[in-house]
Amino acid sequence: MAMLRMHNTGIVVENLDAAIAFFEALGMTLEGRSLVEGAWAGRVTGLGDQSVEIAMMRTPDGASRLELCRYNHPAVIADHRTAPVNAYGYLRVMFAVDDLAATLEALRDHGARLEGEVVDYAGVYRLCYIRGPEGLLIGLAQPLG
């Protein structure tokens, strides 16, 4: 047995169009968008009959993907978007960027706000956490040197 690669990370959102626009502004490309529904899909998730609209976003290097999901039914039953960074479970997705200041400026037009502040990590990275669409926690890292 051997893992081949990580396929994608899934994020459930309320406003799929706004999330797509945000991640496009970050530099990702929309690979496709579709409706996934029916009992077969619910057997995978354990939700039974479901209807979910998905958008697959690809990083510029083609190596990583985000699957953005908006559930039509069943209704979403939990909301982790306002959890602090030290809460149990998935923390955030982090992206490497070439210019942190320019990235932050571009994402502000899409509602992004700093969670803390931009810091220098040992002269290796400039790092920050932002809250993106719907409060999603996203990390940004600019390699230095």
Chain segment 76-101, per-residue pLDDT in tens: 888 888 888 888 877 789 999 999 99
Domain total in the chain? 2
Mean predicted lDDT score pLDDT of the chain: 91
CA distance 30 to 55: 7
Higher pLDDT, 33 or 45: 33
Higher pLDDT, 95 or 46: 95
Kindly state whether residues 68 and 97 are assigned to the same domain: no
Does residue 4 form part of some domain? Answer: no
Kindly state whether residues 62 and 114 are assigned to the same domain: no
Per the structure, the complete domain to which residue 44 belongs is given by 9-73
Kindly state whether residues 68 and 115 are assigned to the same domain: no
- How do beta strands 93-96 and 137-143 pair? parallel
Kindly state whether residues 27 and 69 are assigned to the same domain: yes
Other CB atoms within 10 A of residue 87 CB: 11
Kindly state whether residues 110 and 66 are assigned to the same domain: no
CATH number at residue 45: 3.10.180.10
CA distance 103 to 143: 13
Kindly state whether residues 101 and 63 are assigned to the same domain: no
Poorest-pLDDT segment among 66-75, 87-96, 101-110: 87-96
Kindly state whether residues 69 and 97 are assigned to the same domain: no
Q: Write down the pLDDT at residue 90.
A: 77
Strand, coil or helix: what is 132? coil
Kindly state whether residues 97 and 130 are assigned to the same domain: yes
Does residue 17 form part of some domain? Answer: yes
Question: Does the pTM exceed 0.85?
Answer: yes
CA 106 vs. chain centroid, Å, equals 16
Kindly state whether residues 67 and 98 are assigned to the same domain: no
Output the six-digit token pair for 64: 């990583």
**34 - beta bridge partners?**
54
